[in-house]
Chains A and B, each alone.
Chain A
């Protein structure tokens, strides 16, 4: 349910998850890298993690990089149950990959589970989504500068909403942005909703002034003219919405990627790890992956092994500092 609370983002991928159920383990032959992969999904069927694992498995098997893929949903403890399983049964799980995303960093910081990404073998970060600040089409706010000005004139009437709990991803992005714009993140009024769709409805109804959400969730409504994206947390403009300015362009020095990636059990033999990494790396070149990626609107953000570690450590530091400041740690 924790994953379900992420709302539309997750439910969108539910469709995708379902699409990939029973994907045939076609064997194209010739360039197979791994015999089989067993994916552990720390959330229920139909969540964002589920969609990522099944989509990746589908692309890998259809492209012939992996002989066969199997999937196991292991929800519980906000993902903690699956992590504990990977660690406790490390020796028998050399054939297993666990999918995870930004919340593993957030939840190990807040102590939802005692382990962190350091207790696992980092395979690769594969895809991601940028965050975006969004306002309604009739809003007088047209840029981050306008939002900051509105906030300065009446902080308590300028509420920013999001589809996550306080201290969750959408809140952290809002706080990070306002902090980088020179405001005190602690004073920003953040209103949480239990699903992205409900948060979007609240934005359109005028209950909140701005919405912190995933870029992919806002892009369709922005292209339909229902909302305006006033800032994206990417380093360069995203091709799906070329008019949406980045935060950096507007003088707010902040970037954020909600990544998704794969982890192995601790002590995974180097040879096995290399095989997984090769398979995932080769996957990006295949039309099968392109089909899955395009269908889901995912952005390729590939961080292999050590790069993944550096990326996660940097993210952990940024998020950790912010959460300390906000009083969540």
Chain B
């Protein structure tokens, strides 16, 4: 390993590679900041450039740099504009955007940058030490376990089921789950609930729904209620630093989520999205009671958890790609395509046949993360200034990117109609104080839950997998605990103190 490490260092630390990694990170960050443009489209755009370089190591380092950069930059639009461009940063907006509304945008961006850096770096260390052994971990989960894991992820909705909101949160989750069934499912040959409309055949687009639930209502709220929505304009830049006590409170979160996120990323059927939701759910549940109430309202832990987890998971997703040649996500599938076009076959032989590629990619992960941190921290005050742009300029800007993001994925004008339609409905729901995040969580997880559940049903000729597979049973029990316990606790606490039931 040490020998490989040296080869990797030698390759990755050459001037050319450093320029490549810095360039890749820069491009990735800036494009990733635009709402609606995720890492997949950015990597697809960069592939011709990478291939024309001819050198597989340089190409992979460039693309990996773009990938981290995009994930890094992706959290910016979630935090500042409530416009997550990728499913992996949806959870970032849960607490990141409330912080912006409280005038703490600078601090939120700083925490996101540090959490991303730590998540990326810790997981790169894990990747370096354990990659050869981890190929078996990647194959540990069957559909039954994926199903159970996603149920655990669903418990993240509990954060939005605060006082008097339980029914509303459950209702919104259910709507999300129902919306996920529209279109041609992976298990059925027939279109469902499309009402004969051809454009619904492939279901609702994620970007469309994310923009309709988050960015559009936010922009409309700014127009409809200009005075009541938090005046974040000037406070955004002041409050950049993290106090020592804050650092102490998020350090264990970052440590736990680096590890947890990495291992979830290693699983080919899970990825950054599941990692961020699980990270959020787990951290909320183990947080002390007072801090728990802050989740969803601007908790720094609630921001650090998904940001660490999604970056760690991105690194983790390189394990099945590099050691087995199996892409676990859309993005790694595109990377695999680029590698094959460069005559490199990822798989168990890669480390032996072409160690310089394998190790220089891993080394470039450290460098990439460091570059991103150094690049981003000084830029935060300037990025946060976006918020001090007068509203009459900012709102059209948000609208433009929101609409463009929805259109660009499928080149389909129907997405725009859906976006506006859902956006108006979402705004109405927001007025009625319905939480919109559970709907999106239900939508994202719904399809995967259904696929994995019905696959398991087929494999076991029924629901026997629930008790025949101990890991599935264990995960489902954790999910039950995560959902039931907090509710039960707060219920009991209220009973014991009838006088101050509404104490916060």
Q: Which residues of A contact B (CB under 8 A)?
A: 1-2, 4-5, 7-8, 11-22, 44-46, 72-78, 80-81, 84, 110, 112-113, 156, 159, 165-168, 189, 191-195, 197-198, 200-202, 204-208, 220-221, 223-226, 295-297, 328
Contacts and interface: CB of A to CB of B under 8 A. Distances in A.
Contact of A18 (B45, B141, B458): B45
Contact of B333 (A166, A194, A197, A224): A197
Nearest to B451: A194
B233 interface: no
A110 B47 contact: no
A76 B414 contact: yes
Contacts of B186: 5, 165, 192-194
Given A14-B44, A194-B451, A224-B325, A76 B201 contact: yes
B494 interface: no
Contacts of A202: 142-143
Contacts of A46: 40, 44, 334
Interface in B100-149: 138-143
Interface stretch (B216-224, B301-309, B343-351, B381-389): B343-351
B162 interface: no
B337 A224 contact: no
Interface in B7-46: 40, 44-46
A17 to B, nearest CB: 7
Given A15-B334, A167-B189, 19 more contacts: A1-B205, A2-B201, A8-B327, A11-B337, A15-B338, A19-B48, A21-B48, A46-B40, A75-B202, A77-B199, A165-B189, A168-B189, A193-B451, A193-B455, A201-B324, A220-B325, A224-B347, A224-B349, A225-B348
B203 interface: yes
B69 interface: no
A234 to B, nearest CB: 21
Given A75-B202, A191-B458, A204-B324, A166 B269 contact: no
Contacts of A194: 186, 451
Given A73-B411, A168-B189, A205 B184 contact: no
26 contacts: A2-B184, A4-B330, A7-B333, A11-B333, A15-B334, A18-B47, A18-B48, A19-B47, A19-B341, A21-B45, A45-B411, A72-B411, A76-B202, A189-B458, A193-B186, A193-B455, A197-B268, A197-B333, A198-B268, A205-B142, A206-B139, A220-B345, A224-B325, A226-B325, A297-B340, A328-B189
Interface string B147-168: 0000000000000000000000
A139 to B, nearest CB: 14
B408 to A, nearest CB: 9
A197 B348 CA distance: 16
B313 to A, nearest CB: 16
A279 to B, nearest CB: 24
A299 B139 CA distance: 31
A201 B143 contact: no
Greatest chain B CB density within 10 A among A15, A19, A21, A220 is at A15
B392 to A, nearest CB: 34
A165 B184 contact: yes
Given A156-B461, A197-B333, A224 B348 contact: yes
Interface of B: 40, 44-48, 51, 138-143, 183-191, 198-199, 201-203, 205, 268-269, 320, 324-328, 330, 333-334, 336-338, 340-341, 345, 347-349, 409-412, 414, 451, 455, 458-459, 461
Q: Which 9 A-B pairs have the closest CB atoms?
A: A15-B337, A1-B202, A77-B198, A11-B333, A167-B189, A205-B139, A194-B186, A224-B347, A12-B337
A204 B201 CA distance: 32
A33 to B, nearest CB: 27
B334 A221 contact: no
Contact of B139 (A2, A201, A224): A201
Nearest to B185: A165
A220 B190 CA distance: 33
Given A14-B44, A15-B338, A165-B187, A191 B347 contact: no
B200 to A, nearest CB: 9
Contacts of B202: 1-2, 4, 75-76, 78
Given A77-B201, A197-B333, A205-B140, A15 B189 contact: no
B410 A75 contact: yes
Contacts of B139: 201, 204-206
A169 B478 CA distance: 38
Contacts of A191: 455, 458-459
B272 to A, nearest CB: 15
Contacts of A220: 325, 340, 345, 347
Contacts of A76: 198-199, 201-202, 410, 412, 414
A44 B333 contact: no
A197 B458 contact: no
B141 to A, nearest CB: 7
A189 to B, nearest CB: 7
Greatest chain B CB density within 10 A among A8, A206, A296 is at A8
A205 B325 contact: no
Contacts of B320: 201
Contact of B269 (A18, A165, A198, A225): A198
Given A76-B201, A207-B143, A197 B337 contact: no
A221 B325 CA distance: 7
A19 B51 contact: yes
Contacts of B340: 12, 15, 220, 297
Contact of A80 (B47, B198, B461): B198
A112 B411 contact: no
A197 B326 contact: yes
Given A15-B47, A166-B187, A197 B461 contact: no
B188 A165 contact: yes
Contacts of A81: 198-199
A17 B189 CA distance: 27
Contacts of B330: 4, 11
Nearest to A44: B410
B142 A207 contact: yes
Nearest to A2: B202
Nearest to B320: A201
A45 B410 CA distance: 7
B349 to A, nearest CB: 5
Contacts of B183: 1
Contacts of B328: 197-198, 201
A113 B198 CA distance: 9
A4 B187 CA distance: 15
Given A191-B458, A224-B349, A12 B336 contact: yes
A226 B325 CA distance: 9
A91 to B, nearest CB: 22
Contacts of B412: 75-76
